[in-house]
Amino acid sequence: MSTRHESAHLHVSGRALYTDDISLPSNTLHAAFGLSSIAHGRIRTLNIGPVQSFPGVFAVASAADVPGENNYGSAVPDDPIFAPGLVEYVGAPIFAVAADQYITARKAAQLAQVDYEPLPAILDIRAALAANATVLPPQRLLRGRPHEMLAEAPHRLKGTVHVGGQDHLYLEGQIAIAVPQEDGAMLIHSSTQHPSEVQQIVAHALSKHANQITVQCRRMGGGFGGKETQPALIAAAAAVLAHKTGRPIKLRLDRDTDMVMTGKRHDFLADYEVGFDSSGRIMALSVMLASRCGYSADLSGPVNDRAMMHLDNAYFLENVEIVSHRCKTHTVSNTAFRGFGGPQGMVVIEQIVDSIARALGMDPLAVRRRNFYGTHARNVTPYGQIVEDNLVHLIVDRLVESSHYRERRRQIAEWNATEPPVRRGIALTPVKFGISFTATLFNQAGALIHVYTDGTVLLNHGGTEMGQGLFTKVAQVVATELGLPLAAIRVSATDTSKVPNTSATAASASSDLNGKAAQAAAQTIRERLTQFACEAYSVTATEVTFKDGQVFIGSQQMSFAELVQQAYRARISLSSTGYYRTPKIEYDKSTLRGRPFFYYAYGAAVSEVAVDTLTGETRLLRVDILHDAGRPLNAAIDLGQVEGGFLQGVGWLTSEELWWNERGELRTHAPSTYKIPTARDWPPQWRVELLEGRPNSEDTIYRSKAVGEPPLMLAISTLLAIRDAIASCGSARALPDLVAPATPEAVLRCIENINAGTIVYQAALVGEEAGL
Ligand code: MTE
Ligand code: MOS
């Protein structure tokens, strides 16, 4: 059902309330952080005197002011709220100051005198690998005999794939408001994907119990994974100041501070060796995967696990070894970002497949097809999960036809053969993305539904709204179950005092999880009402139906509200909780084996680009997408997720460059220097469709599929289309050494290299056919 977003009218008219818009008590103070200016070092002395004496300042809090645990790390407790004496990145919070005005707090925060004893800083992945600096132990995924098979393979290729990080650039920055309540309790308004974690971290920081802390979030202005763990820091710092002053504290990061001090997508590098036969079939693959985790673990464990488990993408890798290093650097601690490591893993294999095709002089699509998972055989992933409902063949076949891939590829080759300064390129890439939290325990959800005597419904569930349309979808489920118009359902702010112990709204699984939980709650209410109607009107349950706000009871008809009033008078409970846990999944994270995912979501995209070989600028000319959302809960919202996810991926792979200088200072800390895509970057020609007629083969809510993250990875087609255009500048079988993001500088560098003939297949080839 393609209804509009439940808040669309508020979004477009500016009346949607975000955390920054909440009316504040008149005694509220505004806070700002004081940050480390060096990448690594000890604080010899911290003089906050000038901060404290600045007019308008009420209080300063540093590590010594945290009554409980000075930590906001959840998976691993290695993230101090305030640096306890050691700073490990430029931007590490050292203290926070509360003042009567926001601007006062920000000015005062600059006045602290910090004397550091500098220590050597590790600033990139290679340096961390050399120093063996890690935040977590390495992981290894092995299947078959990759090393023996590499030796036997007729063709081998070695190379390195670089893929950059990404800032979330949610339009609404990080923010929290902490409001002290009676008897030591605290109310927190937080822009968070994970209210329960904020609740826990604040409780621990203040040395209070969970039942004293309430966290609310009506909506975020985007999260994209950046508000999974980071908001706990903001909320905890606000709570510490609120505790110290006894007054409400609002802590909002300005954009530059947000970009400097909060975690981002991990950049990765992969050194690989692949063995293949003359048909392009991959016989063996060995990959050393390393990522920049920053100074602490945060979510780097599961992010890197997911990278390993998506390095196969849609391809059957019979003999494979992936060794994953979680590198420690003295930069901001990287975190969740749409796709959660999956996109980085998939970029690696897609570049390898592309190189195999170029080395053999084949169409990359042919090499892709040669290696796709089968539908009956060759369908087990390296981690042991059977790919049960493989839609890759179907989707790719349909997309090849509908996009006219073959004809266009031919035309592009003809165009490029005339050696024009503006080259064109085309690529088709598939997506197979596993749905579920890899940590099995998080795959649970709760909901709470109240029916009032006027027949309206208030819905609450554990998920959070960040623009992705979750609240709309879950409301649709409740409306469907109770036979009510959508207008009868109101979704209230996510609130830890209504649904407890929730998981983060993440892993794209929130409509699967909360939709099912809300369905269970609605069904309980419907069953109670049905039973009441049976007794009151002497009918059987099959004679009671709920439809269009009406209830049909035998030959009678009444409004839902009328039945509800009768049930209320008869003392029937009109409130219910609902609970859901995902079936079938089981997974051992120490061995990386089992069935981590309930199912897979699929898709494919064809990108066509133009590359100006004189300036390195690129332009996306056309995209064709066919994406699998099962039987969509809301096709309009799902198409929005596909389009938005795709373009966010294009930004990641083509224009968004994070650049730290040799002192570890992030120099791209505002939209002036960090270029996200805009409406102008949407291609002039596009066709985005959802796969029809393929409901989820698993019993998800109305047989839908998760759609939040998978479309981001469709953008890999754009990167490879650029690579395709660049390849036309080189000799036959040349392998463009294109890094991501493919900024104009990177593209020009790659064109220069390829013209110099430095990177061609012959040079990279090892084995018996060397010199081919
Ligand atoms: N869409 C919008 N508009 N804003 C967002 O912040 N986050 C993405 C995706 N789509 C996001 C979004 C991420 S990272 C995830 S995990 C999912 O939405 C989370 O929501 P879901 O589980 O309801 O799909
Ligand atoms: Mo999404 S990265 O799982 O919040």
Determine what percent of the chain is predicted with pLDDT higher than 70: 98
Closest among 391, 396, 393, 390 to 427, alpha carbons compared = 396
Out of 464, 709, 712, mutate this one to test ligand 2's pocket (max ligand atoms within 8 Å of CB): namely: 709
Please give the pLDDT value at position 732: 86
Which distant-in-sequence residues (6+ apart) come within 8 Å of 430 by Cβ?
313, 314, 368, 372, 392, 395, 396, 602, 603, 604
Residue 521: which H helix or E strand, with range?
helix 510-537
Assess whether the C-beta atom of 435 lies below 6 angstroms from ligand 2: no
Neighbour-count burial of 418, counting CB atoms closer than 10 A to its CB (0-12 exposed, 13-18 middle, 19+ buried): exposed
679-724 residue pLDDT tens: 999 999 999 999 999 999 999 999 999 999 999 999 999 999 999 9
156-183 residue pLDDT tens: 999 999 999 999 999 999 999 999 999 9
353-369 residue pLDDT tens: 999 999 999 999 999 99
Mean pLDDT of the 258-280 span: 98
11-50 residue pLDDT tens: 999 999 999 999 999 999 999 999 999 999 999 999 999 9
Residue 756: pLDDT band (50, 70, 90) is: low
Q: Within a 13 Å sphere around the CA of 129, how many CA atoms are in the beta-carbon half?
A: 15
DSSP 313-336: TTB--SSEEEEEEEEE-SS-----
Please give the pLDDT value at position 764: 45
Residue 589: pLDDT band (50, 70, 90) is: confident
Can you tell me which residue has the tokens 């359902």? 489
Assess whether the C-beta atom of 709 lies below 6 angstroms from ligand 1: yes
Residue 769: pLDDT band (50, 70, 90) is: very low
Please give the pLDDT value at position 375: 94
Instruction: Using the mean position of ligand 2's atoms as its centre, give its distance from the Cα of residue 339 in Å.
Output: 6
Instruction: Using the mean position of ligand 2's atoms as its centre, give its distance from the Cα of residue 225 in Å.
Output: 4
Assess whether the C-beta atom of 337 lies below 6 angstroms from ligand 2: yes
- φ, ψ for residue 220, nearest 5 deg: -115, 150
Q: How far is CA 56 from CA 107, 112, 133, in A?
A: 10, 15, 43
Ligand nearest to the CA of 437: 2
Instruction: Using the mean position of ligand 2's atoms as its centre, give its distance from the Cα of residue 193 in Å.
Output: 9
Ligand nearest to the CA of 228: 2
469-523 residue pLDDT tens: 999 999 999 999 999 999 999 999 999 999 999 999 999 999 999 999 999 999 9
Can you tell me which residue has the tokens 């300063």? 60
Catalytic residue among 709, 745, 768, 769: 709
Mean pLDDT of the 543-568 span: 98
Amino acid letter, residue 176: A
Nearest alpha carbon, ligand 1 atom 16: 506
Q: How far is CA 639 from CA 4, 307, 462, 627, 635, in A?
A: 12, 25, 24, 9, 6
Taking the alpha carbons of 354, 356, 362, 368 in that order, is the dihedral positive or negative?
negative
423-448 residue pLDDT tens: 999 999 999 999 999 999 999 999 99
User: Is the pLDDT confidence value at 760 over 70?
Assistant: no
> Is there a contact between 576 and 452 (Cβ–Cβ < 8 Å)?
no
> Is there a contact between 69 and 239 (Cβ–Cβ < 8 Å)?
no
Assess whether the C-beta atom of 646 lies below 6 angstroms from ligand 1: no
Out of 466, 582, 634, 707, mutate this one to test ligand 1's pocket (max ligand atoms within 8 Å of CB): namely: 466
User: Is the pLDDT confidence value at 759 over 70?
Assistant: no
Residue 155, Ramachandran bin (φ over 0: left; ψ between -120 and 50: alpha; else beta)? beta
Please give the pLDDT value at position 698: 98
Please give the pLDDT value at position 499: 98
Mean pLDDT of the 208-218 span: 98
Work out which ligand 2 atom sits closest to the CA atom of 193.
Answer: 4
Assess whether the C-beta atom of 507 lies below 6 angstroms from ligand 2: yes
Ligand nearest to the CA of 299: 2
- φ, ψ for residue 695, nearest 5 deg: -60, 155
Please give the pLDDT value at position 757: 53
626-643 residue pLDDT tens: 999 999 999 999 999 999
> Is there a contact between 71 and 80 (Cβ–Cβ < 8 Å)?
yes
Determine what percent of the chain is predicted with pLDDT higher than 90: 96
Assess whether the C-beta atom of 228 lies below 6 angstroms from ligand 2: yes
> Is there a contact between 176 and 18 (Cβ–Cβ < 8 Å)?
no
User: Is the pLDDT confidence value at 767 over 90?
Assistant: no
User: Is the pLDDT confidence value at 651 over 80?
Assistant: yes
What would you report as the CA-atom Rg of the chain, rounded to the nearest whole angstrom?
27
Assess whether the C-beta atom of 41 lies below 6 angstroms from ligand 1: no
What are the helix and strand counts (H, E) for the chain?
20, 30
| Residues 359-392 as b or e (16 or more Cβ within 10 Å = b) | bbeeebbebbbbbbbeeeeeeebbbbbebeebbb
Which distant-in-sequence residues (6+ apart) come within 8 Å of 419 by Cβ?
none
DSSP 40-72: SEEEEEEE-HHHHTSTTEEEEEEGGG-SS----
> Is there a contact between 122 and 82 (Cβ–Cβ < 8 Å)?
no
Ligand nearest to the CA of 642: 1
Assess whether the C-beta atom of 342 lies below 6 angstroms from ligand 1: no
Work out which ligand 2 atom sits closest to the CA atom of 709.
Answer: 1
Give the tokens for residue 30.
Answer: 């505004």
Specify the pTM. 0.97
Can you tell me which residue has the tokens 């990386």? 592
Mean pLDDT of the 376-398 span: 97
Assess whether the C-beta atom of 507 lies below 6 angstroms from ligand 1: yes
Neighbour-count burial of 680, counting CB atoms closer than 10 A to its CB (0-12 exposed, 13-18 middle, 19+ buried): exposed
Nearest alpha carbon, ligand 2 atom 4: 225
Please give the pLDDT value at position 459: 98
Catalytic annotation present for 117:
no
Work out which ligand 2 atom sits closest to the CA atom of 227.
Answer: 4
Assess whether the C-beta atom of 530 lies below 6 angstroms from ligand 1: no
Q: d(Cα 715, Cα 625) in Å, to the nearest integer? A: 10
Q: d(Cα 23, Cα 355) in Å, to the nearest integer? A: 57
Closest among 705, 667, 711, 718 to 689, alpha carbons compared = 711
Can you tell me which residue has the tokens 């040669």? 370
Q: d(Cα 312, Cα 156) in Å, to the nearest integer? A: 18
Taking the alpha carbons of 411, 417, 422, 425 in that order, is the dihedral positive or negative?
positive
Write the secondary structure of 627-691 as one string of H (helix), E (strand) and C (coil): ECCECCCCHHHHHHHHHHHHHHHHHHHHCCCCCECCCCCECCCCCCCCCCCCHHHCCCEEEEEEC
DSSP state of 708: S
Instruction: Using the mean position of ligand 2's atoms as its centre, give its distance from the Cα of residue 347 in Å.
Output: 18
Nearest alpha carbon, ligand 1 atom 18: 708
Please give the pLDDT value at position 1: 83
Instruction: Using the mean position of ligand 1's atoms as its centre, give its distance from the Cα of residue 608 in Å.
Output: 26
- Average pLDDT of the chain to the nearest whole number: 96
> Is there a contact between 277 and 153 (Cβ–Cβ < 8 Å)?
yes
Closest among 30, 97, 114, 33 to 60, alpha carbons compared = 97
